[in-house]
């Protein structure tokens, strides 16, 4: 019997969200790879470094010691304390363990936050270019994303006047992501302060995705909660994925007023329960052990960032701001729209990404999925050698269109 004759359809919730646009190009890259084509992958959103050995050893020790059972739903006490110490050390934020939740990645923390805060029809302000997941996750939780665009000429910082005008009685939260994916923008302390003030003035939550907090090139990232004083409206989201090259371990953590944490914990307890126990032990070591790895990794990223920018600056018509954090560059390549390739006019970031993949075998991510169709995202979380080859090919492919 055909399934469609018995199905009564999917939920409106799932039907209204989009699969990730980043996946389309990634799928084509995978197909080409399976056909034996050698692909240079500049689309990845994770460090190419291995997890430091002392962190892996902490996991081995945890397993050998039998720490393989459920932990507290909100996370182990030891890890919640380690997060408080980390917040104090790196971000000048004061949280107590009751104000911390450990979840299965930063993404999971964000999901718990959105599920705990958003009612159907309530609005959440998101700044474009945004990480692809923000809008779809907000919709999944029943909320309505309200997009405010930011400009490259303003270093992708939000215009506070526009934010103020967008706030209305349906606004529940403002979501920020600094250092940001895909732009690498790091908001100034003034901007962060103005957003904290706005949140207070209107009683809206300020969700701060700081998953790249340790990956900055000039100066320190400022956490809004450090300006707020005691936890009130700011919800801090961080993760061990990017700073410690631990994407596969799936540990993220949130800091917020304990009443918010309690509601998030209810959602977690009825869905996934605690994050992986072994990974939690490894995360304690990551946050409290030697931190020198991060400096070395960021130093290498800086070298690669500068190389990537150097090549982009030589390509006529391409503009690109200098990212101050994360490991992506986000060049504007719209000058090349309208050119033809293989009888087809290239008119979007998706067309351009397919062109680069098919013609040069370099995978990048179309900016359209981030709400910025004039751009493509290039990740430099790959070896210098691969990056050099990839960037050379991108340069040649764009110049060939002129």
Ligand X SMILES: Cc1ncc(COP(=O)(O)O)c(C=O)c1O
Report the interface residues with ligand X, using CB under 6 A.
45, 105-107, 131, 177, 181, 209, 211, 239, 241, 247, 252
Residue whose CB is nearest to ligand X in the complex, by number: 105
Whether 315 contacts 303, CB under 8 Å: no
Shortest Cβ distance from residue 289 to ligand X (Å)? 19
Q: Which is nearer to ligand X, 116 or 279 (CB)?
A: 279
CA atoms within 13 A on the CB side of 63: 8
Q: Which is nearer to ligand X, 326 or 357 (CB)?
A: 326
Tell me how far the alpha carbon of residue 181 is from its chain's centroid.
Answer: 5
Whether 171 contacts 123, CB under 8 Å: yes
Shortest Cβ distance from residue 232 to ligand X (Å)? 23
Phi, psi of 137 (to 5 degrees): -65, -40
Shortest Cβ distance from residue 123 to ligand X (Å)? 20
Cα 191 from Cα 171, distance rounded (Å): 20
Q: Which is nearer to ligand X, 225 or 311 (CB)?
A: 225
State yes or no: cis peptide before 129, omega within 30 of 0. yes
CA atoms within 13 A on the CB side of 28: 19
DSSP one-letter code for 221:
P
Shortest Cβ distance from residue 315 to ligand X (Å)? 26
Q: Which is nearer to ligand X, 116 or 237 (CB)?
A: 237
Q: Which is nearer to ligand X, 21 or 398 (CB)?
A: 21
Q: Which is nearer to ligand X, 237 or 394 (CB)?
A: 237
Shortest Cβ distance from residue 253 to ligand X (Å)? 9
Q: Which is nearer to ligand X, 181 or 191 (CB)?
A: 181
DSSP one-letter code for 335:
G
Q: How many helices (H) and strands (E) does the chain have?
A: 15, 14
What is the distance in angstroms between the CA of the first residue and the CA of the last residue of the chain?
55
Shortest Cβ distance from residue 63 to ligand X (Å)? 22
Q: What is the DSSP string of 246-293?
A: -GGG--EEEE--HHHHHHHHHHHHTTT-SPPHHHHHHHHHHHHS--HH
Shortest Cβ distance from residue 394 to ligand X (Å)? 22
């Amino acid at each position: 019997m055909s399934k469609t004759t018995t199905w009564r359809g999917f939920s409106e919730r799932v039907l209204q969200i989009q699969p990730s646009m980043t996946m389309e190009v990634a799928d084509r890259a995978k197909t080409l790879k399976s056909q034996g084509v050698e692909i240079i992958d500049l689309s990845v959103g994770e460090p190419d470094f291995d997890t430091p050995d002392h962190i892996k050893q902490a996991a081995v020790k945890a397993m050998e010691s039998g720490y393989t059972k459920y932990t507290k739903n909100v996370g182990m006490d030891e890890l919640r304390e380690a997060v408080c110490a980390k917040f104090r050390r790196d971000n000048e934020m004061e949280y107590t363990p009751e104000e911390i939740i450990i979840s299965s990645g930063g993404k999971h923390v964000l999901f718990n936050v959105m599920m705990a805060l958003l009612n159907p029809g309530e609005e959440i302000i998101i700044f474009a270019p945004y990480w692809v997941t923000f809008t779809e996750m907000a919709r999944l939780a029943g909320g309505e994303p309200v997009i405010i665009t930011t400009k490259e000429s303003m270093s992708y910082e939000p215009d506070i006047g526009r934010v103020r005008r967008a706030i209305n009685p349906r606004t529940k939260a403002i979501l920020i992501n600094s250092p940001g994916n895909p732009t690498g923008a790091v908001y100034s302390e003034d901007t962060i302060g103005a957003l904290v003030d706005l949140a207070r003035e209107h009683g809206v939550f300020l969700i701060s995705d700081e998953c790249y907090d340790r990956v900055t090139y000039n100066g320190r990232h400022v956490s809004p909660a450090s300006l707020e004083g005691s936890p009130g409206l700011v919800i801090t989201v961080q993760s061990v994925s990017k700073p410690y090259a631990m994407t596969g371990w799936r540990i993220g953590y949130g800091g917020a007023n304990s009443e918010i944490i309690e509601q998030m914990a209810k959602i977690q307890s009825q869905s996934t329960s605690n994050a992986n126990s072994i990974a939690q032990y490894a995360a304690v070591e990551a946050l409290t052990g030697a931190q020198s790895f991060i400096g070395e990794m960021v130093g290498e990223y800086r070298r690669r960032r500068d190389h990537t920018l150097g090549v982009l600056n030589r390509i006529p018509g391409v503009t690109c701001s200098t990212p101050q954090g994360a490991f992506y560059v986000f060049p504007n390549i719209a000058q090349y729209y309208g050119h033809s390739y293989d009888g087809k006019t290239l008119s979007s970031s998706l067309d351009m990404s397919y062109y680069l993949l098919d013609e040069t075998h370099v995978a990048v991510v179309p900016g359209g999925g981030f709400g910025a169709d004039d751009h493509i995202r290039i990740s430099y979380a790959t070896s210098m050698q691969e990056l050099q080859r990839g960037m050379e090919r991108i340069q040649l492919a764009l110049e060939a269109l002129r």
